[in-house]
Every structure is written in C-alpha cells, then in structure tokens.
Amino acid sequence: MVAPGTWIFPDDGQVQLAGKRGLWLSQHHATPLGVNMARWPAGVPYNYSVHPEIIQKAWRNAVNTYKPDQDILWELGLRGLSDVSYAALDPSVRDNEALLGKRISDAIAEQQRIVREHHPNALFVTDLWSEGNRLMRDGVLKIPSDVITVWSDTGYGKLQDDGQARAGQGAYFHIAMMNDRANQLSEMVPVDRLLSETQRLADHGATQFFLVNTSDLRPVVMSARATMEAAWGNLKQGEAHAYYKSWAKEEFGVAAADAIANVYESYFAAPAHAPNGEEYGDQYYHTTARRMLLNSEVEWPSYVLPDQAPIWQAPHLQGAENTSPAVRSAVDRERAACSSAVKHWQSLYGKASQAMSLVEPSRRSFYESSVLTMISINMESNEMLLDVANAIEAKDAGHPEQAVAEIHKGQEALVRLKQAEARGEYGRWKNWYHGDWLTGVSRTQDALAQYEKHLLDSSTPVPPPIRWSDWEAYYHILHYEGDRTVDLH
C-alpha cells in the first residue's frame, strides 16, 4: 500500500502508476477521500458548519474520480486548507474542543456514507494529526468502530497517544519531515526510539495499520529498513545496536560492521536539542540561521508566503512587534547549543572517516553518500549556525569586523557542506542535491552573502522582509498542477 503524494488529485499520474503496479492506495491525512486541499478554489467557502454541502460535493467528486476497480484504504477526517486545523477556518469551533470534535466526527460519518454509495465493502482509516491526537485523547472525537484509528508522531518518532493506543489501532511515523526543523537531507530519528514505540504498539495490539513517511527516501534508507523490520516483528526494543551492525555488515562488509555500528550510535547522540527535547534536524540549522539573519537586518514586521496552500492565499504577517528580544534569545540559545555540539560532530566525522578503510571497495561510494555526507551536512550546518549567532553577537556589540569574520567562517562551512554533497552524488545520483528546496542550503548561502554586504556597508539595500523559501519548494513540487482546483461541479 502507498500514499503516493500529499497535494495530489485522484487522477494524477502517480496515482495511476501505483494502481498499475497493483498497489493499494491510501491518502494523506490532509487530503481526506483524495480532495486536494492545497487547491481549494478561490471565493468558495470552506466551512462545514455553514456550508457542509460544498465540502460534501468535493468529497463525492473525488471519490468518483478514482478508477472503480482501484483498491483504496479511504482516509477520513476534517482539517483546514493547507494542513492546518479545521478550527483555523471555522470560528464557531475555535476554542470549543467539544464542538470541534463533533464537527470532525460528523464529517467522518458523512464521508463513510459517501464512499459506501459506490463501494459498499470499503475499508477506512483516520490518521490523527496534531489536534486529532489531542481530541482523541480527550474523548471528544468519536470514530466508528469499523474505521482504523491511527495515532501519529510529530515528526520525531514519538507517538502522541499518551499510552492510549489499543488493539485494532495503528501508527503513523515519520523518519523525515518537512517542518522547518526536522530532517530532509540526512537521518535524524534514532532507531532505538522507533523500536521502542513499535514494541509498545505491538504489546497493546495496535498493529492494524502502520504508515511510514520518508519524505525523500534516499537519505533515510537505513531507518526506513529498520522501521519496516520492526513493523513486521523482526526487530524488537533494545536491538538497535544489533541492527546497526547487521545493516553495516550487509551494506559495507564484515570488516566494517563493528566500527560503523558505533558510528551510527554516535551519530544519533551528536545533535544539539531544542528546549522541548527535539533533535536539531538539518532543516533547523538553515531555517533558524535565515530567520536570525533576516530579523537582525530587518527587525519588523515580516511576512510569510504561503507554501502548501491554495495559490490565491495572501501572505500573512509573521511579526508585528520588535523582534530584537527574540533575536537576542536565539543568539544566546544557538551559541550555547551549537558550541557544545561542535566537538561531538568533529569526533564523529573523524571516527567515520577512519572506518572508510574497512569498507569493501565496491561499497565506498555508498558509504561516502549515506554516512560521510550525512555527517558533513549536520556538522557543517551546526558550525554555520554557530557562526551566524556569533556574527550577530559581534555586530550588536559594535564589532563589525569580527562579525564579518564570523560570516566568512559560516560561508566556508557551507562550501565544505556543498563539497561533501558533491562527493555523495555518484552514478545515477548526479545533481541529486540540486533538488534541495526544503532544507535550502543554497538559500542559506544567499542569506549569509546578503548579511555580509550589510555588515560592510550599512547603506546596502535591505532584503525584503519575506520568508519565501518554503514557497519556493512547493512552487517546484506542485507547479505541474497549473491552475487546476478541486472539482465542485
């Protein structure tokens, strides 16, 4: 079974291809019944309290667009446009959890009825996400017994069920995620965490459904394999190191297995952590650095271009208050967090480089790309964010020359990062990193270059106070859809 995309239409090419391969289809939690909520038409109300008939028409048309013989596990639920809470678009349920839960429960019941008009033996699932987990935990979301209830994580492999998962339910894990903080270009979620959570589910019989979101699969093949082995009961809690060794033996040879297993253990222990305990993923370094630089140069207000959103949605205000205290806080936090992680990354890279000699010659290109490049991306990104924080600190202290020197160090770190990526683009993977629109290393390079100009000449034109890198990513990803919108005829 596969959910072949997020913001897609029911007759898109990837849907057709999955069907031709004999795969069951499911849908993303943000596109119930296959309705592409990032392409809702302009000027049409999206409010299930006031105009349920409009949304029901969208559901019915999407169901009818799928080929009648396609096997589908139908996704049920009610969220807003662009994968936000439904409450963001319906004031009547805002700050009223019971009513929000009822509205979603009513929608699920209606969606079942619509599907069964044409598919009386249909199977259903609802993937809880964000507020869905909360509403389910609080008992205000009523899901029919013949719908598989699926608890989700937040992108870091830790489910949000608070121990409530029970027999007949399932799980939705991420091993990579686009959220400005997690990982896109490298591994991030420790295998021992995935095994612990999977074992907990199995112990409670919550094994009816298991979904893994890989984002781009290539950077996370090691944890993807581990997750699916665990899902099938082949890996248990406490076996992470044994898995690292088995993986290394299979991919890099017997002689390298012990050393590389230790590299993986050290890799997942190396990143700095946010105050909430979440690891710094490769997106975090770059998103944070760009925001800090922009807010240091142009204090406020700032705006965000919508990304996973209908093309008619307007930019929204990001901050209407003085951002200086937030920048000051970020500088202090990142100087402390990233400086403490530097030695871990450097030690790890040295250990991983030494292990290269143990790798079978035919597998060294894969080792370079999947291990050394992965470490380099995080090591150099950590260094860059530290340098950015130090540059802002020096600028605010009235030392522009020192600030420029710190920016140069950050630029050098990103050059080394790009060189590591190039070494990982062997064979068919040539130019792989040209498609990096989500972590956005090149955009970070642009931001550092702009900030250097600002430091050298305060009369330099300031950058537009707009965050748009996520918009760029989804412009590329969804551009093929043109001006198509959800069918409401």
Residues 214-235: pLDDT tens digits?
Answer: 999 999 999 999 999 999 999 9
CA torsion, ordered 185, 189, 192, 195, to nearest 10 deg: -100
Buried b (16+ CB within 10 A) or exposed e, 167-202: eebbbbbbbbbbbbbbbbbbbbbbbbbbbbbbbbbe
pLDDT in tens, 236-274: 999 999 999 999 999 999 999 999 999 999 999 999 999
Q: How far is CA 164 from CA 66, 139, 167, 197, 367, in A?
A: 35, 11, 10, 13, 40
360: left (phi over 0), alpha (psi -120 to 50) or beta: beta
DSSP designation for 205: T
Question: Does 323 or 129 have the greater pLDDT score?
Answer: 129
Query: How many residues make up the chain in this entry?
Result: 489
pLDDT, mean over the chain: 96
pLDDT in tens, 275-297: 999 999 999 999 999 999 999 99
Question: Region 161-178: what's the mean pLDDT?
Answer: 97
Question: 125: part of which helix (H) or strand (E)?
Answer: strand 123-127
pLDDT in tens, 321-332: 777 888 999 999
Which residue in 169, 473, 436, 451 sits closest to 296, CA to CA?
A: 451
Q: What is the DSSP string of 355-395?
A: HGGGS-GGGHHHHIIIIIHHHHHHHHHHHHHHHHHHHHHHH
Question: Region 290-305: what's the mean pLDDT?
Answer: 90
Question: 421: part of which helix (H) or strand (E)?
Answer: helix 400-423
- At 316 the pLDDT is 86
pTM exceeding 0.85:
yes
Tell whether the torsion through CA atoms of 274, 278, 283 and 287 is positive or negative. negative
CATH class for the region spanning 13-254: alpha beta
Which phi and psi (to 5°) does residue 271 adopt? -65, 150
Any idea where the domains of the chain sit in the sequence?
Answer: 13-254, 282-477
Are the CB atoms for 297 and 462 separated by under 8 Å?
A: yes
Name the residue with tokens 């064979």.
427
CA 133 remoteness from chain centre = 18
Which residue in 337, 200, 348, 331 sits closest to 277, CA to CA?
A: 337
- On the question of pLDDT at 320 being above 70, the answer is no
Question: 275: part of which helix (H) or strand (E)?
Answer: none
In the numeric block, which tokens belong to residue 181?
Answer: 């903080």
Distance, first Cα to last Cα, the chain: 30
- On the question of pLDDT at 319 being above 80, the answer is no
